[in-house]
Chains A and B, each alone.
Chain A
Amino acid sequence: MKAIGWVRRLTPFDRKLLVVVAVLVVLSFLLPLTQKAGARVVVSSDNRIIFVAPLDKDQRVELDGPLGITVLQIKDGGARIVSSPCPQKVCIHMGEARHAGDLLACVPNQLVISVEGNEKGEDTEYDFISR
């Protein structure tokens, strides 16, 4: 009973307000569900796109950067960096990118790996990629 003693210090209005806010907080946990699944992974280095692949096809890709080869793994609709020649390995610890807008970056090796969705505007649709 002692644990709810503090409720008695609230005004009746405060109690109602708390319930409303608590409901809003619970609802806000549904927010990540609105994220769209990514459709493809786009790798750019030095502002140039060097690699594009769909997320639904499992594969391992070796990406060339100034420091050496960074290995990107695409598996079960997600992309993660599994090995990299950079000193801190921050990119490996960034984990998996699977939603539209997610980003992986290896700054020392100058690689930016972004996941894009399908529904985005036409300007992000690449109809031709040259390497």
Chain B
Amino acid sequence: MTSSAVDSLELEQVRRRVFLALFVALAVALHTVEVLLPNPLPWFRIGLANILALTALFSYGIQALWVVSIARILIGSLLLGSLFSPGFLLSLGGGLAANTLMSVGYKLWQNKIGPVGVSVLGAIGHVTGQLLIAWLVVIRHPSIWMLLPFFLLFALISGIVNGLAADYLLASLYKHPAFTGLKKKQDVSNNVAHLER
């Protein structure tokens, strides 16, 4: 499938870089489309862009998750003209909280947790981080926490939806030759980690 002249390690690195760039581009596109969608309530977003962050996490690890989501937030808000606005701060705060929870969850239960589990953790982190920033920066009033139950319920649903989407995407990506080596490597390292325990 590949020419033998190319060092396989280098090929792997180039692939990783190209796919991460593609993931970021797709995440930015989804982020933009989502803002254009009619929305009954200003803060309820499905967070479709997180599908790509999840995909990056499960194919290239925690570092890739942070690259994709931070790049998506920066580029996405640059495109929409909301960079450094309060809305951007909400987005960034939510993103950081979501990434932290997703990284911890992925690291802690590496062999057991699937995309849906990580996605739900991320969605919960996202709304909590957003409300925290909203409370600190925009509305300094404790009543804002009364919104939390509704946000959490919505996050649970959108988290499941995004996680399933990421799961389907990963399943079809792994069928592609560019990902088969990766999948095998991950399985092997998972097995090794499992044996070491």
Contact = CB atoms under 8 A, between A and B. Distances in A.
The reply to whether chain A is a binding partner of chain B is: yes
Interface of A: 6, 9-14, 17-18, 21-22, 24-25, 28-29, 31-32, 35, 99, 101-103
Interface in B107-147: 109, 112-114, 116-117, 120-121, 124, 141-143, 145-146
B149 interface: yes
A11 B149 contact: no
B122 to A, nearest CB: 12
A11 B113 contact: yes
B144 to A, nearest CB: 10
Interface secondary structure of A, over-half rule: helix
Given A9-B164, A31-B149, A101 B112 contact: no
B114 A11 contact: yes
Interface of B: 109, 112-114, 116-117, 120-121, 124, 141-143, 145-146, 148-149, 152-153, 156, 160, 163-164, 167-168
A17 B112 CA distance: 11
A6 B116 CA distance: 10
Given A17-B121, A24-B152, A32-B146, 18 more contacts: A10-B116, A11-B112, A11-B117, A12-B112, A13-B114, A13-B117, A14-B117, A18-B160, A21-B124, A22-B156, A25-B153, A28-B152, A29-B149, A31-B148, A35-B146, A101-B143, A103-B141, A103-B143
